[in-house]
Structure 1
Amino acid sequence: MGSVIPSELRFTRTERVTMGQPAADALLDQTQAMNCRKVFLIASSTLREKTEEISKIEKALGSRHAGTFSGIAPHAPRADVLAATNAARDAGADLIVSIGGGSATDAAKIVSLLAKHEVRTVEDFEPLRTYVSEEGEVINPITVGPDIPVICVPTTLSGGEFNALSGCTDEGTQHKQAYEHRDMAPVMVVLDPAITVHTPAWLWLSTGVRSVDHAIETLSSDKSNDFADGLAESALKLLVEGLPRVKADPNDLEARLKCQIGAWQSMISIIGGVPMGASHAIGHILGGTCDVPHGHCSCVMAPYVLQWNAEYDDSRQHRTLAILGNTQPTAAQALDAFIRGLGMPRTLGEVGVDQAQFRQIAEYTLLDIWGRTNPRPVRTADDVMQILNLAA
């Protein structure tokens, strides 16, 4: 007879997700419903400078548009996020909208938090960030969340738009750090596949692998449950179908929307409290410390973490292998083949990470919120070094 392990899922303030509606129409409808008068956009520089997408949204908002900020660098450096906060504050924003990839999304959520806490310098970020104690306990010091609501229009597939958690990089230490409060989650997410056709193919596909990683680390977690596993399995199926279709035909909007919905489903369990494992923990450090793009972190690390975990316990990897097609002997090999089929990098050397950096990466990984929640226990920097050496 099986035993019941108590578990729970927690939810955030997100109230609405539109799927397939043009972003300008969806945003105007929501801002009118919320009676927001000063809508501040945090936009991708590429979308703003090289397409008409941002100007279309600005025109749709009309007198409700209070300003637009662009130029958030990858991994959301503190200085850029502070500059966006000051601009939003000067505009008197009563709603913040991100339009772009993961860095714009993270920035928008943190801007709302910084505005609430009257943050004026990069040093003022410090008391708000989540940290890990010497005993391995995750400490979140934020008790008061933001007031200004956020809407996210994602153009990549990292999935952070659904999360109350955001990352921001301390340039001084080159450490990407977490900020989290349930009210940082957006009140609305707009999944518009048409606006994503401007996203570079490598970025779309690699961030899609990021969401594949969300789903696989949920299925691999010994702290998951049937509800979370079911969502992760559905997410993985949608992404495994959708990503190759978009690679073959970038104008396949149906496939793009499948990918977006898969990314959403992959995030629900994380938001609900299922912790990720070593691929995500190492990936956070590769991003903030080594400047590796979000998606490439998962492209490189996810199969090697599966391989390392399988040496300890591969019993939870069978569902992953089945969804990937049972064409390889192991889940790690099947995921490797899938990622290679998308044309993505598969080693740390390919993304510019030198072995001389491995020790710092390993030590920082232990400070990550998911540094100690891998199904095969990660207890020391030497454990992380084993995984990094596999990925070299």
Structure 2
Amino acid sequence: MHRGRVVFGAMDEVVFGEPAAEAIITQMDRLRASRAFLMVSGTLRRQTDAIAKIQRTLGNRCVAIFDAMPQHTPREAVIAASEQARAADADLIVTVGGGSITDGAKAVQLCLANNVRTVDGIDAIRAAKGAPPPMMAPSVRQISVPTTIAGGDFSANAGVTNMATKVKESVRHPLVMPSAVILDPAMTLHTPEWLFLSTGIRAVDHCVEGICAQEAHPYSDAQALKGLSMLASGLPRVKQDPHDLDARMDCQIGTWLSMGALTSGIPMGASHGIGYVLGAAHGVPHGYTSCVMLPSVMRWNKSANAERQALVAEAMGQPGKDASEVLDHFIRGLGMPRSLREVKVAADDFDAIARAAMHTPWVPRNPRKIYGPAEVRAILELAA
């Protein structure tokens, strides 16, 4: 008998296939917001007219723009953005960019609500030992226009990096989930190919670890399996023709579906857990961590969940094949890195990575039980 609990998050709407600028106006009207604080990709703002177009459409409803969020969302940048939003008296945050910007805005919501004004002050809102501290709920909400496809827009969790300790820490609250997400494939046309495709593998990782979890249930399976099949079809089509907006839309919707397992309470596994450490301690881009780790984690886990892994191969159009090999071939076919060596992580670091990974939320929830750093090291050696 299935057991579980599906919590529907605080997102009101997902809008897909409409131009972003017009969709933002519609959302502002719906939320009765008049003072939008834009948190945007600096590259997108400097090298394209996409942000200027949104700014023109919003007119005086755009009160300030922050475009200096580095990768992995450092605390310092979160505080800088919070101070700017506070000074502008913003009543809504609109993000246009990748996962680091989306996560940054989630943290800014909590900084504004809880009067956090210093880098050390973020200690007051970060989740410690798995549980967020008591805090005031955000009143300035967020709408999100993602330009990558990692899927963080659909969660109430954000990762913020403590630069002093080189650890990515979690901040969360049910209301930091964006009130609306706007999926406009045209907004992803300027995203570098490696970034779009690698974050697509991050979404594949959400699907795969969701399908392969011991706790999987029919509701999460329905989304993860459909999401995986859309990503498996869409990503190679984007690689083949970067201007194929239908393929990009399939990837965006596949990513939305990929978050179904996570948001309905299904834990991720060792690929996500080890990925956190590779990102925070070694600067490996978010999507690359999944490219490098996922097939090896699948290989290591197979003795515990071979039947679930068979569903992965089938959803990717390769029924009867070994899922770790299907994923390996798929990731290589997109031209993504497939080894720790390729992302400049050396064997000398494996012991430290393995120890740190044990403290992530996901390694202890991996479908094949991981008892200590030795098992994590075995997975790292498969990925070397």
Match of 1:141?
A: 133
Q: CA 1:225–1:188 in structure 2 vs 1: closer, same or farther (change >3 Å)?
A: same
- State how far apart, in whole Å, the 1-side matches of 2:25 and 2:282 are: 39
- Which amino acid in the other structure matches residue 354 of structure 2? A
**Inter-CA distance 168–306: structure 2 relative to 1 (3 Å threshold):** same
Structure 1 residue 379, shift from structure 2 partner: 2.1
Q: Which amino acid aligns with 1:78?
A: R
Distance 1:142 1:247, change over 3 A: farther
Residues in 2 aligned to 1:20 and 1:251: alpha-carbon distance in whole angstroms:
15
Q: How does 1:19-38 map to 2 (within 5 A)?
A: 19-38=16-35
Query: Can you give the 5+ residue segments of structure 1 that lack an aligned partner in the other structure?
Result: 133-137
CA contact (8 A) 1:328 1:334 kept: no
**Separation in structure 2 between the aligned mates of residue 331 and residue 142 of structure 1, nearest angstrom:** 42
Q: Which ranges in structure 2 are unaligned for 5 or more consecutive residues?
A: none
Query: Which residue in the other structure is 1:250 paired with?
Result: 242
- What does residue 389 of structure 1 align with? 381
State the Cα distance separating 1:328 from its structure 2 match: 7.5
Structure 2 residue aligned with 1:9: 6
- Cα deviation per residue 1:188-208 (whole Å; 9 max; x = unaligned)? 000000111000000000000
> 1:143, CA displacement in angstroms?
4.5
CA distance in 1, matches of 2:15, 2:363: 34
Tell me if 1:183 matches 2:175.
yes
- Taking structure 1 as reference, are residues 202 and 320 closer, same or farther at Cα in structure 2, changes over 3 Å only? same
Q: Secondary structure at the match of 1:283?
A: helix
Q: Which residue of 1 aligns with 2:299?
A: 307
Asked if residue 46 in structure 1 is aligned to residue 38 in structure 2, the reply is: no
Instruction: Determine the structure 2 residue equivalent to 1:273.
Output: 265
Match of 2:329 among 313, 337, 348: 337
Q: What CA distance in whole angstroms lies between the structure 2 residues aligned with 1:376 and 1:26?
A: 44
Any conservation in 2 of the 1:142–1:181 contact (CA below 8 Å)? Answer: no
Q: Map 1:37-76 onto structure 2 (within 5 A).
A: 37-76=34-73
Q: C-alpha offsets along residues 140-185 of structure 1, whole Å, 9 cap, x if unaligned? A: 2245321111000000000001110110100011111111111000
Output the CA distance in 1 between the equivalents of 2:135 and 2:361: 18
Distance (whole Å) between structure 2 residues aligned to residue 222 and residue 50 of structure 1: 45
Distance in 1 (alpha carbons) for counterparts of 2:202 and 2:239: 16
Q: From the superposition, tell whether residues 327 and 342 of structure 1 become closer, same or farther in structure 2 (CA, over 3 Å).
A: farther
Q: CA deviation at 1:311?
A: 3.1
Deviates more, 1:382-391 or 1:182-191: 382-391
2:80 to 73, 80, 83: 83
Match of 1:259 in 2: 251
Which residue matches 1:174?
166
Q: Is the 8 A contact 1:197 1:250 kept in 2?
A: yes
Aligned-pair distance for 1:234?
Answer: 0.1
Counterpart amino acid of residue 358 in structure 1: F
Greater mean deviation of Cα atoms: 234-243 or 372-381: 372-381
Find 1:131's aligned residue among 128, 131, 146. 128
Of residues 364-373 and 54-63 in structure 1, the stretch that sits farther from structure 2 once superposed is: 364-373
* Amino acid aligned to 1:124: G
Q: Aligned AA for 2:98?
A: G
Total equivalences in the alignment: 384
1:195-344 residue pairs with structure 2 within 5 A? Answer: 195-326=187-318, 329-344=321-336
Query: Which stretch shows the higher mean deviation, 306-315 or 35-44?
Result: 306-315
Counterpart amino acid of residue 125 in structure 1: I
The structure 2 residue matched to 1:163, chosen from 133, 139, 155, is 155
Q: What letter corresponds to residue 359 of structure 1 in structure 2?
A: D
- In structure 2, give the amino acid aligned to 1:54: I
Q: 1:17 is paired with a residue of what secondary structure?
A: strand
Q: What is the CA–CA distance in structure 2 between the aligned matches of 1:344 and 1:17, rounded to whole Å?
A: 29
Q: Distance in 2 between matches of 1:233 and 1:41?
A: 34
Residues of 1 paired with 2:134 and 2:285: CA distance? 28
1:326 deviates by 2.5
Q: Residue 209 of structure 1: CA displacement? A: 0.4
**C-alpha deviation, 1:12, in angstroms:** 1.4
**2:229–2:317 CA contact under 8 A, matched in 1:** no
Deviations 1:337-388 (A, max 9, x none): 0000000000011001112221221122111121211101122111111111
Partners of 1:23 and 1:105 lie apart in 2 by 16
Residue 243 of structure 1 deviates from its aligned partner by: 0.2
Superimposed CA distance per residue, residues 247-266 of structure 1 (whole angstroms, 9 cap, x where no aligned partner): 00000000000000000000
- Distance in 2 (CA, whole Å) between partners of 1:103 and 1:260 is 17
Cα deviation, residue 125, structure 1: 1.0
Is the contact made by 1:327 and 1:334 (CA closer than 8 Å) also made in structure 2? no
Q: Which amino acid aligns with 1:92?
A: D
What SS class does the counterpart of residue 189 from structure 2 fall into? Answer: helix
Contact 1:16/1:188, CA 8 A, preserved across alignment: yes
Conserved 8 A contact 2:209-2:268:
yes
Does 2:148 correspond to 1:151? Answer: no
Residue identity opposite 2:157 in structure 1:
L
